């Protein structure tokens, strides 16, 4: 089952914060987050494993609530370079990732 992301699109001004949510109807072992720039391949950001952990690097962090089968990606003090489409991916057994439909993030100066 494909995870559901919200919102579908976000427009921010540089320096503002954003939250992207990812939810699944099935129990999750892990959640992946990727960013894709227009015309390029997705780039891995981080993975959150079962255990309800929170991870982050720079000003991008994420949380994983396995009981609620949800994950959220937090972008603080957004930079122009954060623009792109963000995908969450959840495991469909045996390391097969199923991706959400994506959230398009636009950062304006």
Partner 1 sequence: SQTIHQWPATLVQPVGSPLSLECTVEGTSNPNLYWYRQAAGRGLQLLFYSVGIGQISSEVPQNLSASRPQDRQFILSSKKLLLSDSGFYLCAWSDDRSYGYTFGSGTRLTVV
Gap between the Cα atoms of 109 and 31, Å rounded: 31
Helical H runs in the chain?
A: none
C-beta closer to partner 1: residue 13 or 50: 50
Half-sphere exposure of 87 (CA within 13 A, CB side): 16
Q: How large is the greatest C-alpha to C-alpha distance in the chain, in angstroms?
A: 42
Asked if 9 is part of the footprint of partner 1 (rule: CB under 8 A), the reply reads no
Q: Which residues contact 39 (CB under 8 A, 6 or more apart)?
A: none
| 54 scored as a contact of partner 1 (CB under 8 A) | no
Report the C-alpha gap between 4 and 49 in whole angstroms. 18
Q: Which of 10, 34, 72, 105 binds partner 1 (CB under 8 A)?
A: 34
Instruction: Show contacts with partner 1 in window 60-99 (CB under 8 A).
Output: 87, 89, 92, 94-99
The one among 25, 41, 57, 81 contacting partner 1 by CB under 8 A: 41
Nearest to partner 1 of 5, 72 (CB atom) = 5
Q: Which residues bind partner 1 (CB under 8 A)?
A: 2, 29-30, 32, 34, 40-47, 49, 87, 89, 92, 94-102
């Amino acid at each position: 089952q494909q995870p559901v992301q919200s919102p579908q699109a976000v427009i921010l001004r540089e320096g503002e914060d954003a939250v992207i949510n990812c939810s699944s109807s099935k129990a999750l072992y892990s959640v992946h987050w990727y960013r894709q720039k227009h015309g390029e391949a997705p780039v891995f950001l981080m993975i959150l494993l079962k255990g309800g952990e929170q991870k982050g690097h720079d000003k991008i962090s994420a949380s994983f609530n396995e009981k609620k089968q949800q994950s959220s990606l937090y972008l603080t003090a957004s930079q122009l370079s954060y623009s792109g489409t963000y995908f969450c991916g959840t495991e469909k057994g045996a390391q097969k990732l199923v991706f959400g439909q994506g959230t398009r993030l636009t950062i304006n100066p």
